[in-house]
Amino acid sequence: MIIVTGGAGFIGSNLIRKLNSLGVNDILLVESLENGRKVRNVGDLNIVDYMDKSEFIQACSSTWDLSDVERVFHLGACVDTMEWDGKYMMESNFGYSKKLALFCLRERIPLVYASSGAVYGQQSSFIEIPQYENPLNIYGYSKLLFDCFVRYHAKNPDSLIVGLRYFNVYGRGEEFKGSMASVIPHFNRQMIETGKIKLFDGSHGFAPGLQSRDFISVEDVVDVTLWFSEQSKAKTGIYNCGTGRSVTFQFVAETILNWHGVDGEIEYIPFPSELERSYQPYTCADLNKLRLSGYDREFKDVLKGVEEYLTWLNS
């Protein structure tokens, strides 16, 4: 059996879809379905069992027999970067993850989990070592603290534990995330509804619209995630999961305007003052450690990826 926490979420549902395409259906989906809209992501997927998140956390702290579990993918978390309730965030992301990691260590079950590029904050280099890590919000801190926990226990691990620092993931299945979805569905909707796409004015030393991110397709994220789950204990550690290329919001907006093939325009709006100290104006994953691990597959070009996603969004 394979366990996928956050299995009805964005990356989790895409991971299960890929497993299904490989003929793997013996999957336990762990999720908190308080947001019932998530079910749209899993209605067409094949699983053998479902467990509520709270029940699963209790099971991890018990003598639950999971001798038949092959791998665990921990993708469940609070991903709202605008959430400032530190107690809630730490319980949802750090506390939950720690219990699961200790369980997997005890049972010697390979674990691949979702970390985040948010751990770096406002940096110019994004390398998986402490000197580059300085999160801007409680979400990033909750992810970093668990990475630190894993680093400590990875000194002499009893099983494979891999943390993947996902950068800006986009693709099918993110629509339920609302404001936390990538800019692509937001820009697409703005274009359809108003004929305009709104970008931030200049900020953090960047000209209007030229703030940039490392956008990576969810298909590539799933591929990296599955690949690591099949490796030996020697691969235990923290790795960036991005393309190694940073693309401006201006480029993404122009790609969407060109895809629609109609007259549209870009409108620059004032940068929100409340985001000044908690906004990453630039991200770009350093891939040296990832490549040294042996993962050598190419990542989808952002232009192609955005165009494919737009075709799906507007079908």
What tokens appear for 260 in the block? Answer: 């629609």
pLDDT per residue, tens digit, the chain (315 aa), is 999 999 999 999 999 999 999 999 999 999 988 777 778 889 999 999 999 999 998 888 777 776 689 999 999 987 777 788 899 999 999 999 999 999 999 888 999 999 999 999 999 999 999 999 999 999 999 999 999 999 998 777 778 999 999 999 999 999 888 888 899 999 999 999 999 999 999 999 999 999 999 999 999 999 999 999 999 998 999 999 999 999 999 999 999 999 999 888 999 999 999 899 999 999 999 999 999 999 999 999 999 999 999 999 998
What tokens appear for 116 in the block? Answer: 């985040």
Residue 232 C-beta-side C-alpha neighbours within 13 Å: 3
**Whole-structure pTM value:** 0.95
What tokens appear for 45 in the block? Answer: 């997927």
Based on the residue annotation, tell me whether 304 is a catalytic residue of this protein.
no
Tell me the CA end-to-end span of the chain in Å, nearest whole number.
34
DSSP output for 102-154: HHHHHHT--EEEEEEGGGG-S-S---SSGGG---SSHHHHHHHHHHHHHHHHT
Q: Which of 161, 79, 170 is nearest to 118 (CA)?
A: 79
User: Rounded to whole angstroms, how far apart are CA atoms 213 and 314?
Assistant: 24
| Predicted local confidence at residue 50, as pLDDT | 94
Among candidate residues 98, 177, 196, 198, the one labeled active-site is: 177
Query: So what's the architecture of 175-212+246-281+306-313 in CATH?
Result: Alpha-Beta Complex (3.90)
Do residues 182 and 168 make contact, with C-beta atoms less than 8 angstroms apart? yes
User: Rounded to whole angstroms, how far apart are CA atoms 129 and 149?
Assistant: 14
Do residues 159 and 109 make contact, with C-beta atoms less than 8 angstroms apart? yes
What tokens appear for 41 in the block? Answer: 């992501």
Do residues 42 and 12 make contact, with C-beta atoms less than 8 angstroms apart? no
Do residues 184 and 309 make contact, with C-beta atoms less than 8 angstroms apart? yes
To which residue do tokens 């940068």 refer? 271
Listed by start position, the domains of the chain span 2-170+215-243+283-300, 175-212+246-281+306-313
Based on the residue annotation, tell me whether 139 is a catalytic residue of this protein.
yes
Among candidate residues 113, 120, 139, 239, the one labeled active-site is: 139
Query: So what's the architecture of 2-170+215-243+283-300 in CATH?
Result: 3-Layer(aba) Sandwich (3.40)
Question: What radius of gyration do the chain's Cα atoms show?
Answer: 19
What tokens appear for 173 in the block? Answer: 């299945």
